[in-house]
Chain A
Amino acid sequence: MSSLISFKAITVSLSGKSILNIDQLDVLAHQCTLLTGRNGSGKTTLFKIMAGLLKPNSAEIHYQGLEMTWKQAKPYIQKDIIYLHQQPYLFDASVADNIAYGLHRLGENKASAHKKVMQALDWADLSHLAHRPAKQLSGGEKQRVALTRARILSPRLLLLDEPTASMDTDAKQQTSLLLQRLKSEGVSIIISSHETHTVDHIADRHLLLERGRIETLERPTHSNKVTVLNTSKYST
Chain B
Amino acid sequence: MNDLSQASAHAFQLLLSGNNDIWEIISLSFGVSFSAILIATPLALVIAFFLAFFSFPLRRALISLFNTFMSVPAVIIGLTLYLLLSRSGPLGDLRLLFTDKAMVIGQILLSFPLLVAMAHASFQAADRRAWETAITLGASPARAFFTLMYEVRFGLIAAVVAGFGRVVAEIGCSMMVGGNILHATRNIPTAIALETSKGEFAQGIALGMVLLVLSLSLNAGVSIFQGKGELQT
Contacts and interface: CB of A to CB of B under 8 A. Distances in A.
Given A48-B132, A85-B132, A92-B151, A101 B137 contact: yes
Contacts of B19: none
Given A91-B130, A91-B147, A104-B143, A82 B136 contact: yes
Interface string B35-73: 000000000000000000000000000000000000000
A149 B137 contact: yes
Interface in B126-181: 127, 129-130, 132-140, 143, 147, 150-151
Contacts of B127: 89
A51 interface: yes
B197 interface: no
A133 B137 contact: no
B5 interface: no
Contact of A104 (B132, B135, B139, B229): B139
A123 to B, nearest CB: 17
B147 A78 contact: no
B233 interface: yes
Contact of A135 (B134, B140, B150, B232): B232
Contacts of B150: 91-92
A88 interface: yes
Contacts of B143: 104
A51 B151 contact: no
B136 A78 contact: yes
Contact of A105 (B129, B139, B151, B233): B139
A132 B129 CA distance: 21
A97 to B, nearest CB: 11
Nearest to B143: A104
Interface residues of B, number: 19
B130 A83 contact: no
Given A89-B130, A91-B151, A92-B150, A83 B233 contact: no
Contact of A85 (B129, B134, B140): B129
Interface in B219-233: 229, 232-233
B135 A78 contact: yes
Interface residues of A, number: 26
A105 B232 contact: no
Contacts of B134: 101
A37 interface: no
Given A91-B151, A92-B232, A133-B232, A153 B130 contact: no
Interface string A50-63: 01110000000000
Interface string A149-176: 1100100000000000000000000000
Contact of B138 (A88, A89, A92, A102): A102
Interface string B58-92: 00000000000000000000000000000000000
A79 interface: yes
Interface string A36-53: 000000000000100111
Contacts of B139: 101-102, 104-105
A85 B233 contact: no
B233 A135 contact: yes
Contacts of B138: 78-79, 102, 105-106, 153
Interface of A: 48, 51-53, 78-79, 81-83, 85, 87-89, 91-92, 101-102, 104-106, 133, 135-136, 149-150, 153
Given A53-B135, A85-B133, A88-B129, 11 more contacts: A78-B135, A78-B138, A82-B137, A92-B233, A101-B137, A101-B139, A105-B138, A106-B138, A136-B232, A150-B137, A153-B137
15 contacts: A53-B132, A78-B136, A81-B136, A83-B132, A85-B132, A87-B129, A91-B147, A92-B150, A102-B139, A105-B138, A105-B140, A135-B232, A135-B233, A136-B232, A153-B138
Interface of B: 127, 129-130, 132-140, 143, 147, 150-151, 229, 232-233
By Cβ-Cβ distance, the 3 closest A-B pairs, closest first, are: A89-B129, A105-B138, A102-B137
